Amino acid sequence: MRAFIFPGQSSQKVGMGAELAASSIAARDVFDEVDDTLRQHLSVLMREGPEDRLTLTENAQPAIMANAIATLRVLEHDFGVKLLEHANCVAGHSLGEYTALASVGAFGLADTALLLKLRGWSMQAAVPLGEGTMAVLLGADVEQAKALAEAAAQGEVCEVANDNDPSQVVISGHTGAIERAVALTKEHGIKRGMILNVSAPFHSSLMAPAAKRMAGALEETPPGALMLPLYANVTAAAVTDPAQITALLVEQITGRVRWRESVLAMRADGVESFVELGGKVVGPMVSRTDRDAQMTSLVTMKDLEAFAKEIA
């Protein structure tokens, strides 16, 4: 069995998608549709920068999605590798969950772009700049991270945001609490803590205003039927019911991304190989979670060609 998986924020970089667009009309069609939908030259920003504008959450989220869907479209249209013929399920990390849903027909491309534009803006606007942040804990498991977060909170929000793999957990919350947590890492047996260069405390209870906005947006633009199961971030379990997915997408804004558990659940359900489209971010997390899992990352035309030949 094979899972197609999709990256989340921090996988953006200037130049993303440029080679695909230069080589394939299928990729150009994706970028053009997203540009037209958002009434923004997002593809130019992706190709040329500046980096600080691309990194803005409201730009990064639809850009990462567009790049991943363009990668999938090139794989399908230029190399004849259809997702429905070669994948058994999908998953995505944080915003990548929307990309995964688009890949299996639950959302159209235009709706996905609009939802992610709103999601990015809403998450950025939920907390005044500087009042919240995130930190990555290296050499920490989720239980260590939870204990550290509780010790550092001191009446403020400090929560586990991403359980990425057995050696990497991300915490999120008020800036003071996160700074205290980083200072306490050694006392909790954690190798290292680093403040992340992010503009908001994603996947924490501080994102409640964004969750409320997205609940309204998803009520107006609900997901449709899925052609393959999705392993959801907040449950680490397979789901196909659109109504349940709507609730999970809202919960995901404030809830923990259970990526490590999602990988283990897919493995337990028989998935042997994972294919990351449009990045090399979640793939290494898969490999650190289960060294026996087969992992392929598809970013360049050369990657796509090699993968097509491999599974032919």
User: CATH no. for residue 99?
Assistant: 3.40.366.10
The answer to whether residues 31 and 15 belong to one domain is yes
The answer to whether residues 221 and 293 belong to one domain is yes
Looking up residue 192, the CATH number of its domain turns out to be 3.30.70.250
The answer to whether residues 217 and 280 belong to one domain is yes
Q: Which residues form the catalytic set? A: 94, 203
Q: How many helices (H) and strands (E) does the chain have?
A: 15, 10
CA distances for 212 relative to 56, 97, 174, 178, 232, angstroms: 21, 18, 20, 24, 19
**What residue ranges of the chain have pLDDT lower than 70?**
none
Q: Could you tell me the residue range of the domain that residue 180 belongs to?
A: 132-198
Domain count, the chain: 2
The answer to whether residues 244 and 175 belong to one domain is no
Indicate the residue among 155, 181, 198 that finishes a domain: 198
The answer to whether residues 95 and 20 belong to one domain is yes
Indicate the residue among 153, 170, 198 that finishes a domain: 198
Q: How far apart are CA 36 and CA 89, in angstroms?
A: 30
Where does residue 100 rank: exposed (0-12), middle (13-18), buried (19+ CB within 10 A)? buried
The answer to whether residues 136 and 6 belong to one domain is no
The answer to whether residues 81 and 228 belong to one domain is yes
Q: What is the CA radius of gyration of the chain?
A: 19
The confidence score (pLDDT) of residue 199 equals 79
Q: How far apart are CA 99 and CA 166, in angstroms?
A: 25
The confidence score (pLDDT) of residue 198 equals 83
Indicate the residue among 198, 221, 241 that finishes a domain: 198
Q: Are 267 and 293 in contact (CB under 8 A)?
A: yes
The confidence score (pLDDT) of residue 197 equals 82
Q: Are 73 and 29 in contact (CB under 8 A)?
A: yes
- Residues 236, 239, 243, CA angle at the centre, nearest 5°? 120
The confidence score (pLDDT) of residue 256 equals 97
Which tens digit of pLDDT belongs to each residue from 133-176? 999 999 999 999 999 999 999 999 999 999 999 999 999 999 99
The confidence score (pLDDT) of residue 194 equals 96
Q: How far apart are CA 291 and CA 210, in angstroms?
A: 36
Which tens digit of pLDDT belongs to each residue from 224-259? 999 999 999 999 999 999 999 999 999 999 999 999
Q: How far apart are CA 263 and CA 287, in angstroms?
A: 10
Pinpoint the alpha helices (H) of 135-190.
142-153, 175-183
The answer to whether residues 82 and 217 belong to one domain is yes
Q: How far apart are CA 112 and CA 134, in angstroms?
A: 26
Q: How far apart are CA 287 and CA 301, in angstroms?
A: 23
The answer to whether residues 146 and 226 belong to one domain is no
The answer to whether residues 10 and 89 belong to one domain is yes
Q: How far apart are CA 115 and CA 58, in angstroms?
A: 10
The answer to whether residues 230 and 279 belong to one domain is yes
The confidence score (pLDDT) of residue 129 equals 86
The answer to whether residues 238 and 101 belong to one domain is yes
